[in-house]
Amino acid sequence: MTEWLFNLPIIWMALVIFLGSYLVAAAVYLIVMRLAVNDRVRAFKALSPGMLPPLGILFGLLVGFMAAQVWSDFERAKLAVATEASALRTTILLAESFTGDTETRLRTLINRHIEEAVNEEWPEMAQQQETLRDLPVTLIEALKITLALTPTSESQKVALHEIVAALEKALDARRQRIILSQSTITPIKWSALLLQALCTLIAISMVHSDNRLTCGIALTLFSTGIALSVLLMAIYCRPFSGAVGPELLQQVITSEANDRSSR
C-alpha cells in the first residue's frame, strides 16, 4: 500500500480501493474471455470448481491473519489514549490538595501537554513520524514540580504519591501510543493478500469461462469482498490516522474548565 492512499479521506480511500478492485476483476474477465477459445475453453473448463473453496478459504485466512494484528493494535491504541486521559484527569483532581500556585502550575502544564498532543503529536503520529526522541517536556516538568513538593498533612502525602503514580502512568501511556503509531502492515503481507485475491479471481473466471454472465456476477461479488476487506484494514491499520482521535484528552481540558466554573 502506498502512502498517498493512507492519507486520503475515508470516502476517497473507499472509492479508490473499490474502483481498483473492480478494474482488476474487469481486466481478468476480459483476458480470460479473450483466451477462452478453441482448445483453451476445454482446458479452462477442466479446472475443477472444487478448487474455488480452498482458494477462498486461503484468502479468508490471510485476511484473518492480518486483521488480528490490525484489531489488536487498534484496541491497544484506544486503551493507551483512555489511560493517558484518565491519568491526567486524576492528576488535576488530586492537585486540588495543594492549593495556590502548585495547583495552578500543574493544571497549566497538563493543559499545555494536551494541546501539544492534539496539535503537534497527533498529525505526526498519523504520518508515522512521531518518535520517542521527542520528550514530553510539560509532563516531565509536572513530575519534577510534584516531586519537589513537601506535604504538610497525611492527606497531602497520599495525594502526592497518587499524583506521581498518575503522571508516570500518563508518561507510559504516551509512550505506548507513539509506539503503536509506528505499527503497520508490511508490504509482504499486503502482497501476499492481493496475490491470493488475484489467483482466486483468475480461477473463478476460468471455471465460469463458458458463461459470461455467471462469470461477471461471480467476479463482481468476490471483488466487492476483496475491496471491503482491504478498505477495513487500510482504515484501521494506522489507528491514529482517524480511527483513534484525541477527543478523550480534549475532554480533560473541558472537565478542568468545568471544575473552575463550578467553584
The predicted structure's pLDDT at residue 260 = 56
pLDDT digits (tens, 9 = 90+) for 206-253: 888 888 899 999 999 999 999 999 999 988 888 888 788 899 999 988
What pLDDT is stored for residue 199 in this prediction?
93
Can you give the pLDDT at residue 258?
Answer: 57
What pLDDT score was predicted for residue 226?
Answer: 95
Q: What does the block give as the cell for 127? A: 504520518
**What is the pTM assigned to this prediction?**
0.81
Do the beta carbons of residue 84 and residue 90 sit within 8 Å?
no
The SS3 call for residue 72 is: helix
Q: Where are the domains of the chain?
A: 3-262
Name which of 84, 70, 144, 155 is nearest 113 in CA terms: 84
Regions of the chain short of the pLDDT cut 70: 1-2, 254-263
Q: Which of 174, 176, 171, 182 is nearest to 129 (CA)?
A: 182
> Rounded to an integer, what distance in angstroms lies between the CA atom of residue 239 and that of residue 47?
42
For residue 63, the model assigns a pLDDT of 94
| Crossing angle for the helix pair 247-262 and 52-94, to the nearest 10 degrees | 20
81 residue type, one letter = V
| Amino acid present at 149 | L
